[in-house]
Amino acid sequence: MRYSLEHKAKNHEKILSVAARSFRERGGDTSGIGTVMKKVGLQKGGFYRHFKSKDDLFVEAVARALDETGRGMEEAAKSAPEGQGLRAIIDRYLSVAHANSPGSGCVRAALGPELARKPVAVRRRVEALLAEYRERLSPFMPGRTQQERMENCGLLFSSMAGVLMMVRVTTDAEMREQRLAAARKMFLKCFSDR
């Protein structure tokens, strides 16, 4: 049975949406093609009508996740009072809500170690996506030049991802909140003074 291009595009979008969430919640290696396709309500064999490989799906899912979180960070910064954009980004990123929602949160915090184990070709594609993310958020970063703002953005988000990863390991809710608050305070101090 033939499907229209519109139908195929909708299914592609569903697969990508489910994969972006599922990979961040359970990992890309754990969430196999069969798992993703089943959640979408499609047969596993239909996967290759949409993607050349699982690596292609993985990269597109990472792109989707970075776009989603980048849009949220950008909105938080733009809606903050004048001069408080960086604070809004840090507060949003290091929030209890973000820590408790890996499926809709930062892909670096959810998949960092897994990203590092991917083949070089995949890592290169992800590196390009991360550069676009830094570019998008660099206007809210401290620095005299664009290069400094990009470097500060990379350092800040990599560091916050590490904090978020470890906070997610912590089972005590009060301890999680304390660690997030301490990290927010430290990052605000370090990056506001630059």
Q: What is the predicted pLDDT for the residue at 193? A: 58
Q: How far is CA 59 from the centre of its chain?
A: 12
Can you give the pLDDT at residue 35?
Answer: 81
Residue 7: the pLDDT is 75
What is the per-residue pLDDT across 41-92, written as a single tens digit (0 to 9) for each?
887 777 878 888 889 989 999 999 999 999 999 999 999 999 999 999 999 9
**Segments in the chain below pLDDT 70:** 1-3, 31, 193-194
pLDDT for residue 47: 80
Q: In the numeric block, which tokens belong to residue 110?
A: 């959810």
Q: Return the pLDDT at 69.
A: 94
CA–CA dist 118, 98 (Å, integer): 25
- Token duo for residue 177: 């909140």
d(CA 101, CA 69): 12
Q: Residues 119, 27, 51, 66: is their CA dihedral positive or negative?
A: negative
pTM of the model: 0.88
Question: Left, alpha or beta for 78 (phi > 0: left; psi -120 to 50: alpha)?
Answer: alpha
CA–CA distance, 11 with 188 (Å, rounded to integer): 42
The answer to whether residues 121 and 160 touch, using CB atoms and an 8 Å cutoff, is no
Please, what are the domains in the chain? Answer: 52-192 (1.10.357.10)
What DSSP string describes 29-52? TTS-HHHHHHHHT--GGGGGGT-S
**Alpha-carbon distances of 17 from 12, 42, 45, 137, rounded to whole Å:** 9, 14, 18, 23
- Whole-number Å distance between alpha carbons of 116 and 138: 24
